[in-house]
Every structure is written in C-alpha cells, then in structure tokens.
Structure 1
C-alpha cells in the first residue's frame, strides 16, 4: 500500500498589478517603455494605457500625436474592467480632454493608489504638456493623488513661482505645494546639479522628510522621472506604505542612474539602466 501525503494548497498571492497611463517614447528610454521596465524590474506586473505617441530619441522630441480621447477611455475601461489594478502611475497626458477622462476613470474605478508624475518637459527640454492643460491637471487630477512627483521646473510651473536654485528655495515651496491638494508631494532636487548629493523632499500635510543619494555624474538620465514614479507605484502595489515605497524607489533610481553608463544607447541623453545587476534585491 502506498503512503500518500497531503499538502494543503497554499493560497495564491495576489499579483501586484500596476497600470501606467502615459505617452510612448519611440527611443525606449522614457514614457510607457521606461514605466513597464521599471515596474517589471521592481516586482510588479505592468499594464498600460497610451495617451500619446511621440517621435523621440535621446536627442529630443520631434513630434507628438495625442491619442483620440475616446480611445484613451476605451483603453482605461478595458484594463480596469478585467485586471485587479492596485496602483496607477500617471505620466504624460498631453491635453485637457485626456486629463479629464483619466480623472473621471480614476474616480469611477477607485484604484487603491495613484501616483502622478506631472510630466511637462522632457530631459531634452521639449514641452510635453500644453500650457492650457496645467490648470486642468491641478483642478481635476492632482487632488486625487496619493503622491505627486514633480521635479523643480515642474513644481515651479504648478505653483506659479521661480525654479528653485537651492535647497532653501525648495523648502520655501513647501506651503504652496501642499495647497495643490495631493496627499503627499515628492519634490525632486535632481536639477540642483551643483550639489554633491541629490536630495528630495517627501512632503505630507504634517511632515517633511529628506531623502538623499550621492549624485552621479552622467549625461544618461533620460527617463529618470518616469522610472522613479513607476517604481514608487510598484512598491505601493506590493504592500509598502508611502514612506517605504518612496525610499525604495529612490534607492532603485539611484542605482539605475549609477549603472547608466554601462549602456551604450543613442547620441544624446541616454536612458538609465532599469535592469542593472542586483535590481531584484531592491526590496
């Protein structure tokens, strides 16, 4: 007689699904392409809604074609009606109509976490959001966010001020950034290139936490904002609280930048290295 043993079936872990809503970068270094790489590298499952198609490479953006708003809406319905989306990362939205439909669908489907990277300007300096759409972004979408992740030029555009040139200037923006209505703001200090460290401020309603990393001297920084915000969304989807998710995201992007020169992509601002050696250990 054979001796059969029974092992109870283990409950299946829920897949941490992260939706990125953003534009496509034909060069592969930013936008939807960077988001999918970052979410995958950090342990999430990436799905996507494309809001615009850009003709883009490491040298710049040569054309932008917004996706018709009704097709953005149909993509959102297709994803949300089938997949258990835990976290959403929003990047390039191009115009007011797309912002409005994204905000409406976020309110309809109520994902647990919303990370908004207010993409306005590419690393190359090209404008990625119509000026007329900034007010729509502020009124319709930012108040829904768990965290927004502006760099210094984006923060200045959102609050109608000057671009900070020092950490003191960053601190002076805190009150105005809180007025945008998001639960938290991660103000990124990467543009203060004269500083030895790259310091960010995680601003909540009643606290400010500084996150610091050694500044890496490289021109290969294309897609850093997309990558960081996607990593934060991925870590939130995996059960980390906001402070933990931001700290892990900062650690991941710092290493992706540090390893960027190991890649040889393009003639301009090359991409960061999303799948750097040991990336699976950033948890």
Structure 2
C-alpha cells in the first residue's frame, strides 16, 4: 500500500507573487500529498499588479510527452488537477494527458476570469475551448464569473439561486458532473459557495467581510484537493478549504504590504503541522 497519495498538477508557474503552483504545492505537501507539477505556462510574475510579465507558453507536445513518459514508466496518479492553461492550443494535449490515465479522478478549476469578465489575456474563444474539458472532469471549481463564461451567458450578480441552479444544469448539459462555485452572493454574504453534487443544490454562506488577495483560489484548490484525496466528502473538503482560506486572509490583514504580493499562506501553513 502506498504511504501517500499522488496528484498531477497541470497548472502555471509564477516566479514572483504567490499564485498557482507556488501556492498549491506547499499546501498539498504539508497535508501529506505528493504534488507532481506539469507546468502549462511559465510567468515571471502573476498577471495582477506587476505589469506585463515575461511568459513562456508550454507547447502541447510537452504535455503529451509527459503523459507518454509517465505511462512508459508505469507512473500512476490518484488524481489529476487541471488549472490555468493560458492558451487554447494546449487544451487538446490536456485531453490527451487525461485519457492516458483512465479511471483517475479529474478536478478542474477553469481559471479565466473574475468580477464579471475575462482576464485581460482571454476572450470568448478561450471560454469555448475550455468547455471541451468539462466531460473529462469529475469535479469543476469555477467562480461565479467563470460559470457564466463557460455557458456563454452574460454575467449578472444575482442573489436568486434559481439562476445559479440553471447555470449548474447547463454546465451539466455540457458534460460537467459535480460542481463547486465560489464567490456566489446572497443577502449579506458576498462570497458564498454553491455545491451541486448528484443534482443536489447546497449554499454555504459566510457573513464575515474579508479582503481579496491574489492566489486565494489556488489556496482553496490546494486544501480542497488535500481533503478530497484523504477520504473526505465534497462538503467536508469545501468547508475545510473555506476555513483555511479565511484563516490565511485574516493573517494577511494583520500586515501592510503591496496587494500584488498575494495571500500570506506561510504563517497559516505552520498551523497545519
């Protein structure tokens, strides 16, 4: 019996500014999960607040060759995470990667936008391309904006959960299975979470007003994967992830430093040991 779980992370790597792989890997490691990075894009910094970063697109051929190499060496994963891909040319290669590991649980965060619009380097063609990945994912982790972008609907901030339920059903029609949606407002809660599991709809609210930091979603994803891979339910994994992110934000708010440096996870990580 293997002593630890192993997960493949198809995600971007930023040199400065805590985000993506640099946030997820330490969380997974300290939680006892072996994190295996397969970078999809290299950036000198994340894309918020540092100007235009130096970037290098990882070609799809590299992703395919990684899959082939792993298969030839009988490498197995307990899960595959699909995160920030950066360019649509790589999507077919990601599908190829997933197909080489049939039966492996796939979790996807379709990172492409927030606050009602695409990030500056994406447009509708990218959202349409990402939709091709939905049938391959067992769980997707979009924020509310990304739900609208995946469906092609115009964004609206709504506290009416019948609209969110309609989004979930439309995403299922495109092939999605279980869905966790973040940043869903309702009443006095601006950052609630929706779980849509086995067609059951659940809203988790939080009346606490907390700040926003770069890398928060990656911290959420890292803890979510850690809990999921150690046998926790979808609800338990979401609750633990939310609690961890809130703890990181509270710690970050104790200090004055440039927003672009992102979420302070280091001090909170020590409390997990």
TM-score of the two chains, using structure 1 as the length reference: 0.81
Aligned to 1:181: 175
Partner Cα distance (1:90, 1:253) in 2: 20
Cα–Cα, structure 1 residues 107 and 268, in superposed 2: closer, same or farther, change >3 Å?
Answer: same
Aligned to 2:265: 273
Is 2:247 aligned against 1:251? no
Corresponding residue SS for 2:23 = helix
Q: How does 1:84-163 map to 2 (within 5 A)?
A: 84-110=76-102, 112-121=104-113, 126-129=119-122, 131-139=124-132, 141-163=133-155
Deviates more, 1:74-83 or 1:240-249: 74-83
Asked whether the 8 Å contact 2:82–2:109 carries over to 1, the reply is yes
Corresponding residue SS for 1:22 = strand
- Per-residue CA deviations over 1:83-109 (Å, capped at 9, x if unaligned) read 432122111112233111111111111
Corresponding residue SS for 1:115 = strand
- Please tell me whether Structure 1 or Structure 2 has the larger radius of gyration of its CA atoms: 1
Name stretches of at least 5 consecutive residues in structure 1 with no aligned partner.
1-11
Asked whether the 8 Å contact 1:20–1:49 carries over to 2, the reply is yes
> Given the alignment, which residue of 27, 41, 44 partners 2:16?
27
Name stretches of at least 5 consecutive residues in structure 2 with no aligned partner.
none
Cα–Cα, structure 1 residues 261 and 40, in superposed 2: closer, same or farther, change >3 Å?
Answer: farther
Asked whether the 8 Å contact 2:12–2:43 carries over to 1, the reply is yes
Asked whether the 8 Å contact 1:184–1:204 carries over to 2, the reply is yes
Asked whether the 8 Å contact 2:210–2:246 carries over to 1, the reply is no
Which structure has more relative contact order (CA 8 Å, sep 6+)? It is 1
Aligned to 1:65: 56
Aligned to 2:44: 55
Cα–Cα, structure 1 residues 265 and 79, in superposed 2: closer, same or farther, change >3 Å?
Answer: farther
